[in-house]
């Protein structure tokens, strides 16, 4: 049986992550309060941020910027805007 959490992003009960993906207190907070679905949405934003801003994950400042944006996106409901990005037209 899948683990469920009350997802703070989706505001409903949903399937939780299988394991803690991020180390530390922030990782525990994500594991306890964010669903697989919401984390997948964040991963798409994260990939876009990394690519558009040419972030280097070896740079602690870049990692901190991503973590700050993740907290804003998942817990504070803030939309992360990527400069110059336009969704594809269907």
Residue 39 and residue 7: Cα distance in Å, rounded? 10
Nearest to 66 by CA among 36, 43, 83: 43
Q: Give residue 55's pLDDT.
A: 94
3-state secondary structure of 64: helix
Task: Give the pLDDT band (50/70/90) at residue 90.
Answer: low
The count of other CB atoms within 10 Å of the CB of residue 16 is: 20
Residue 62 and residue 23: Cα distance in Å, rounded? 16
pLDDT tens-digit map of 47-80: 999 999 999 999 999 999 999 999 999 999 888 8
Nearest to 33 by CA among 46, 20, 49, 47: 20
Q: Give residue 79's pLDDT.
A: 86
């Amino acid at each position: 049986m899948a683990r469920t959490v009350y997802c703070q992003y989706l505001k409903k009960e949903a399937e939780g992550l299988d394991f803690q993906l991020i180390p530390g207190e922030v990782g525990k907070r994500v594991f306890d309060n964010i669903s697989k679905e919401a984390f997948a949405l964040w991963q798409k934003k994260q990939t876009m941020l990394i690519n558009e801003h040419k972030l280097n994950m070896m740079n602690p400042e870049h990692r901190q910027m991503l973590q700050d944006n993740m907290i804003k996106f998942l817990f504070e409901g803030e939309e992360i805007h990527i400069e110059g990005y336009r969704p594809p037209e269907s």
